[in-house]
């Protein structure tokens, strides 16, 4: 297994839009396994491929305390959204930054698994929040982009500090 380097803000590659996966092969499976190991090593609950400079529509999530319920989502599309929830989010690409973000409370999602099989799933709560957060990454959007100008201004000192450390 390989542990990938996680891109940190203000790396411009975090703003790139990922391309759909078209080849479902052993290489893709290895990439997904490496992404999971990278997420676990960083004590995260979600990771998008763009955060490790892989410009493909892949995300991994595992909300379990024992890191034994991995979910690999490829080429995701949110089909329906319902409700709203405000949750304090963090991000492996923004260490030490947390902010309340408004998201849909429930989503219905279509995606492919690593074997290329189409899947459909309805999720809610933290899992829905996490998936939306990671899909945003695949579209070049970070959770900070959801904040009001005032909230961004209040976080500016922390963001500047992260920029200087990069």
Neighbouring-strand partners of residue 19: 56
Which string of b and e fits 104-134 if b means at least 16 CB within 10 Å?
bbbbebebbebeeeeeeeebeeebbbbbbbb
Please give the DSSP secondary-structure letter assigned to residue 145.
Answer: G
> 116: left (phi > 0), else alpha (psi -120 to 50), else beta?
left
124 is catalytic: no
Cβ neighbours, 10 Å, residue 30: 13
Annotated catalytic residue: which of 88, 89, 110, 134?
134
Catalytic positions, please?
134
């Amino acid at each position: 297994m390989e542990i990938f380097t996680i891109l940190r803000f203000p790396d411009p590659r975090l703003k790139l839009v990922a391309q759909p996966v078209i080849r479902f092969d052993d290489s893709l499976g290895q990439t997904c396994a490496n992404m999971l190991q990278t997420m676990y090593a960083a004590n995260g609950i979600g990771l998008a491929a763009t955060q490790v400079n892989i410009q493909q529509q892949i995300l991994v999530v595992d909300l379990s305390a024992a890191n034994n319920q991995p979910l690999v989502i490829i080429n995701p599309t949110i089909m329906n959204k319902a409700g709203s929830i405000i949750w304090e989010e963090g991000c492996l690409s923004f260490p030490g930054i947390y902010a309340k973000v408004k998201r849909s409370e429930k989503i219905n999602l279509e995606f492919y698994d690593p074997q290329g099989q189409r899947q459909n799933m309805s999720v809610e709560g933290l899992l829905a929040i996490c998936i939306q957060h990671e899909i945003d990454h695949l579209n070049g959007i970070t959770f900070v982009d959801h904040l009001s100008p005032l909230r961004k201004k209040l976080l500016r000192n922390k963001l500047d500090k992260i920029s200087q450390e990069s």
